[in-house]
Amino acid sequence: MTLWTPFTVGAMELPHRLAMAPMTRDRSLTDGAPSELNVEYYRQRASMALIITEGTQPSDDGRATC
C-alpha cells in the first residue's frame, strides 16, 4: 500500500490517499454563509480528490477577521 493506492471512503472511490488539509480562508459573507469566493476556491482545488474544508465560526466572537 502506498500514498498512490486508490481507496474507498463511504461511497466515494478516491484515486490516492492524499488530502488537502483545511485552511482558514474566511472568505464567507459577514453572516457566515459561503460566498462565490468560497465556491471558486474549492472549484480550483477539486482535482485534489479529498478536500477537508475549512471550519466556520459559530458566532461573531469566533471570527478570526472582521
Q: What is the pLDDT of residues 3-51, one digit of tens each?
A: 999 999 999 999 999 999 988 777 888 787 888 998 999 999 988 889 9
H-state helical runs in 1-66:
36-45
- Model confidence at 64, pLDDT cuts 50, 70, 90, reads low
Report the alpha-carbon distance of residue 64 to residue 60 in Å, rounded: 9
The predicted structure's pLDDT at residue 5: 95
- Encoded amino acid at 48, one letter: M
- Give dist(CA 53, CA 19) in Å, integer: 10
More confident residue, 54 or 66: 54
